[in-house]
Copies of this chain bind each other. A is one copy, B any other.
């Protein structure tokens, strides 16, 4: 068997992302020793039952000791606290990275604690599902997904290359960008969609003219798509909203302006304007399919999952 990429990897946080990393690290033999740490006793116990690592502890300091790669996979609001806690135990020359959905805020929280000689490289794998916790992870989560780094001006190129190699072995494609641009981009492709989904599901939950059981019963007409995003981890998404506030408010303002204009078109019966918008958006879907960022199967291929033998003649 070939040498592992790192002698010791420490995972701080073992939710959907952390536990998916644990699974792919094992499958690809990327670590000589894999230390797993989480604050919750129950989650740690579950990770151990699942056999996700080589060592388990609720003490993050202990987990990161001697580690060559430390990956922090916690809600972005906790990243400063984690950095402060583990800083004294980080090995000189170690790579410290994270997987948070916002980068400006994570850098502001973590960087002040990073000791000299430790390579801090903020990262964000664009991968996830609506599930959370150590049971939800799977080794294929990162396949063909982007992992974005937002390196700092003084980032060591060799450390960046080694971390890139790690993510490539996890199946990801690598990109780098400026933290501010990352936060603006993610605000539109990820944060706004989730916030809108949470909002519409909340609206439907609050009606008096249509009962909650009717909403659930007839949800296959479109609504259920939103409920998937709106089932994502509440702590993670609360933190995203609090830590990428400016970019999110900017995107929300634009969305609301566009919605007011669409609302007016409906009120005035402006069929041409509606038709134009509804045609333009169709082209965006086509580009996403062509870019390999979604499957072309109708209804996200649900039919194939529900009726594996179903003919589509």
CB pair A223–B280 under 8 Å, yes or no, is no
Residue A288 CB within 8 A of the other chain: yes
Query: Chain B residues near A306 (CB, 8 Å)?
Result: 295
Query: Chain B residues near A238 (CB, 8 Å)?
Result: 271, 274-275, 278
- Mask: chain A, 23-60; 1 = CB below 8 Å from B; 0 = not: 10000000000000000000000000000000000000
Interface residues of A: mostly helix, strand, loop or mixed? helix
- Interface hit among A102-110, A114-122, A137-145: A137-145
Residue A234 CB within 8 A of the other chain: yes
Query: Chain B residues near A252 (CB, 8 Å)?
Result: 259, 263, 266
Residue A152 CB within 8 A of the other chain: no
CB pair A217–B293 under 8 Å, yes or no, is yes
CB pair B285–A228 under 8 Å, yes or no, is yes
- Mask: chain A, 214-255; 1 = CB below 8 Å from B; 0 = not: 111111111111111111101101110110010011011011
Query: Chain B residues near A301 (CB, 8 Å)?
Result: 300-302, 304-305
Residue A160 CB within 8 A of the other chain: no
CB pair B223–A245 under 8 Å, yes or no, is no
Interface positions of A from 266 to 313, Cβ below 8 Å from B? 266-267, 269, 271, 274-275, 277-282, 284-288, 291, 293-295, 297-307, 310-313
Residue A129 CB within 8 A of the other chain: yes
- Interface hit among A65-73, A162-170, A191-199: A191-199
Query: Chain B residues near A242 (CB, 8 Å)?
Result: 266, 269, 271, 274
Query: Chain B residues near A138 (CB, 8 Å)?
Result: 303, 310-313
Residue A174 CB within 8 A of the other chain: no
Query: Chain B's nearest CB lies how many Å from the CB of A129?
Result: 3
Alpha-carbon separation in the docked complex, A234 to B276 (Å): 8
Given the known interface contacts A210-B184, A267-B249, A301-B302, the answer about A221 and B140 at a Cβ–Cβ threshold of 8 Å is no
Query: Chain B residues near A263 (CB, 8 Å)?
Result: 249, 252, 256
- Interface hit among A2-10, A92-100, A200-208: A200-208
Query: Chain B's nearest CB lies how many Å from the CB of A8?
Result: 23
CB pair A205–B310 under 8 Å, yes or no, is no
Residue A159 CB within 8 A of the other chain: no
Given the known interface contacts A269-B245, A311-B139, the answer about A189 and B223 at a Cβ–Cβ threshold of 8 Å is yes
Q: Chain B CB within 10 Å — which of A186, A189, A311, A313 has the most?
A: A189
Query: Chain B's nearest CB lies how many Å from the CB of A94?
Result: 29
Instruction: Provide a sorted-by-A list of 22 A–B residue pairs whose CB atoms are within 8 angstroms.
Output: A128-B221, A138-B310, A185-B214, A186-B218, A188-B210, A189-B204, A193-B200, A193-B225, A195-B262, A203-B255, A207-B254, A216-B291, A216-B293, A217-B291, A232-B278, A234-B282, A239-B271, A241-B271, A242-B271, A242-B274, A300-B305, A304-B304
Known: A189-B219, A190-B223, A202-B281. 18 other contacts (CB 8 A): A130-B285, A138-B303, A138-B312, A139-B311, A199-B259, A202-B262, A202-B277, A203-B254, A206-B254, A220-B294, A234-B282, A238-B278, A239-B271, A242-B269, A252-B259, A256-B259, A256-B260, A301-B305
